[in-house]
């Protein structure tokens, strides 16, 4: 899938440091605004304990995990929607993202400048959120004007629903209510999908804290949780994560234990990103090749087959499906067949997270 998460935030909040920890890359990181002008792009492997277990059980010739793409977008500032700080260019990068990771500075450090001097997560998130809504409002108003011309010519035009939703969006944005908080119905969301509203994208707030606050979060992270809700905040110390990536793999567990951490924040972030995009994982094991595949929730078996090859969707016959837990408990496919838990599913079946699937299809002749 071409899905990706855009990493956004004010300048000097730790986005590039975080990106480097995510990708082991070389994104430029400095303590002055706009050191990242063009977006840095990294494709990150998704940690998957089920894939590891399947590899141990099935002993394939090769193993291929799923990945998420992260894009480090340059820091936004107040006035970005009006072009401040190269804002229009940066907002264009964000508009292409499927979801947003909003990094918020929740640490104090005299060596790293802050664009507004004092650290204040509530103010900082408010700045970014408002800029996204202002940019959306401009696009929505242009859309309204275009749609009204169409409806004046043909009041029954199919754009009628789109116009109704756009009016609802404009009213909400004018009251500083983001598109994602308008609780639109499925058909309403579909009607305005082409606008790619910035404030309509799923968002996860990352509280970038100091090493001393890596476990409990500290006062700044608490204020962020109070503003956006604890369920939407992930606490992480990007400087610690950067240090972990520089250690040999065999030393990382001991380093985490010394800090009182069970796993890296990067692992938690990648999995949270996977959830933010609404993805699930299914597995195939064909010709000795074990592979994990990512899908959006509610994907049918033929559509899942099409992820592998278009001909598999076109010639889909049926799918042989086993749940990960059942396959492991039975010790493999041979043992599973004796339990009656190897299922045959048709075109209406919706792939479930953890399914292990073999697709049967008729090859088309060109």
Q: Do the domain assignments include residue 193? A: yes
Q: Are residues 9 and 82 in the same domain?
A: yes
Q: Are residues 146 and 180 in the same domain?
A: yes
Residue 344 DSSP one-character state? E
Q: Do the domain assignments include residue 366? A: no
Using a CB cutoff of 8 Å and minimum separation of 24, what contacts does 108-116 make?
Answer: 108/210, 109/210, 111/31, 112/12, 112/31, 113/12, 113/31, 113/32, 113/33, 114/12, 115/10, 115/11, 115/12, 115/33, 115/75, 115/77, 116/10
Q: What is 186-236 written as a DSSP string? A: HHHHHHTGGG--GGGS-EEEEEEE-GGGTTT-HHHHHHHHHHH-GGGEEEE
pTM, 2 dp: 0.84
Domain that holds residue 186: 133-199
Q: Are residues 271 and 309 in the same domain?
A: no
Q: Are residues 12 and 74 in the same domain?
A: yes
Instruction: Note the pLDDT tens digit of each residue in 124-177.
Output: 999 889 989 998 999 999 999 999 999 999 988 999 999 999 999 999 999 999
Q: Do the domain assignments include residue 293? A: no
CATH number at residue 302: 3.10.20.30
DSSP 3-state of 73: coil
Q: Do the domain assignments include residue 41? A: yes
Q: Are residues 38 and 113 in the same domain?
A: yes
CATH number at residue 192: 1.10.150.300
Q: Are residues 247 and 306 in the same domain?
A: no
Query: How many folded domains does the chain comprise?
Result: 3
Instruction: Going residue by residue through the chain, which has 366 residues, state the pLDDT in tens, using 9 for 90 and above.
Output: 457 898 998 888 888 888 888 887 543 333 333 334 456 788 888 899 999 999 999 999 999 999 888 888 766 555 544 544 444 556 777 888 899 999 999 988 766 555 566 889 999 999 889 989 998 999 999 999 999 999 999 988 999 999 999 999 999 999 999 999 999 999 999 999 999 999 999 999 999 999 889 888 999 999 999 999 999 999 999 889 888 888 888 888 899 888 888 888 888 998 999 889 989 999 999 999 999 999 998 999 999 999 998 889 999 999 999 999 999 999 988 889 888 889 999 999 999 999 999 999 987 655
Measured CA to CA, the distance from residue 190 to residue 148 in angstroms comes to 19
Task: Write down which residue in 147, 182, 199 finishes a domain.
Answer: 199
Instruction: Note the pLDDT tens digit of each residue in 210-243.
Output: 988 988 899 999 999 999 999 999 999 988 988 8
Answer positive or negative: Cα dihedral of 9, 13, 19, 22: negative
DSSP 3-state of 312: helix
Q: How many CB atoms lie within 10 A of CB 325?
A: 11
CATH number at residue 23: 3.40.50.300
Q: Do the domain assignments include residue 282? A: no
Sheet containing 67-72: give its strands across.
40-45, 67-72, 4-8, 99-106, 203-209, 233-236
Measured CA to CA, the distance from residue 201 to residue 3 in angstroms comes to 12
Q: Do the domain assignments include residue 192? A: yes
């Amino acid at each position: 899938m071409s899905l990706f998460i855009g990493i956004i935030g004010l300048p000097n909040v730790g986005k590039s440091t975080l990106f480097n920890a995510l990708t082991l890359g070389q994104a430029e990181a400095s303590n002055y605004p706009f050191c990242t002008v063009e977006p840095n792009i990294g494709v990150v492997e998704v940690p998957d304990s089920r894939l590891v277990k399947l590899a141990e059980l099935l002993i394939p010739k090769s193993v291929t995990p799923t990945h998420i793409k992260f894009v480090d977008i340059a820091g936004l500032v107040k006035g970005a929607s009006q072009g401040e700080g190269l804002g229009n260019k940066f907002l264009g990068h964000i508009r292409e993202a499927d979801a947003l990771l909003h990094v918020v500075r929740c640490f104090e450090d005299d060596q790293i400048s802050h664009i507004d001097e004092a650290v204040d997560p509530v103010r900082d998130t408010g700045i970014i959120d408002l800029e996204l809504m202002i940019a959306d409002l401009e696009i929505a108003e242009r859309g309204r004007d275009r749609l009204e011309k169409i409806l004046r010519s043909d009041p029954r035009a199919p754009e009628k629903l789109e116009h109704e939703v756009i009016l609802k969006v404009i009213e909400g944005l004018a009251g500083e209510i983001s598109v994602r908080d308008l609780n639109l119905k499925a058909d309403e969301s579909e009607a305005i999908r082409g606008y790619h509203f910035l404030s309509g994208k799923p968002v996860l707030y990352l509280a970038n804290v100091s090493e001393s606050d890596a476990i409990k979060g500290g006062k700044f992270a608490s204020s962020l949780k109070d503003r956006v809700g604890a369920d939407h905040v992930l606490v992480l110390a990007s400087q610690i994560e950067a240090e972990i990536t520089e250690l040999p793999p065999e030393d990382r567990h001991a380093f985490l234990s010394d800090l009182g951490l069970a796993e890296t924040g990067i692992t938690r972030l990648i999995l949270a990103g996977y959830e933010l995009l609404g993805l699930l994982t299914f597995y195939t094991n064909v010709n000795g090749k074990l592979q994990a595949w990512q899908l959006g929730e509610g994907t049918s078996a033929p559509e899942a087959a099409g992820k592998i090859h278009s001909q598999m969707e076109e010639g889909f016959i049926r799918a042989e499906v086993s749940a990960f837990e059942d396959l492991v408990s039975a010790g493999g496919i041979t043992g599973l067949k004796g339990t009656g838990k190897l299922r045959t599913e048709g075109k209406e079946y919706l792939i479930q997270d953890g399914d292990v699937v073999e697709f049967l299809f008729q090859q088309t002749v060109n």
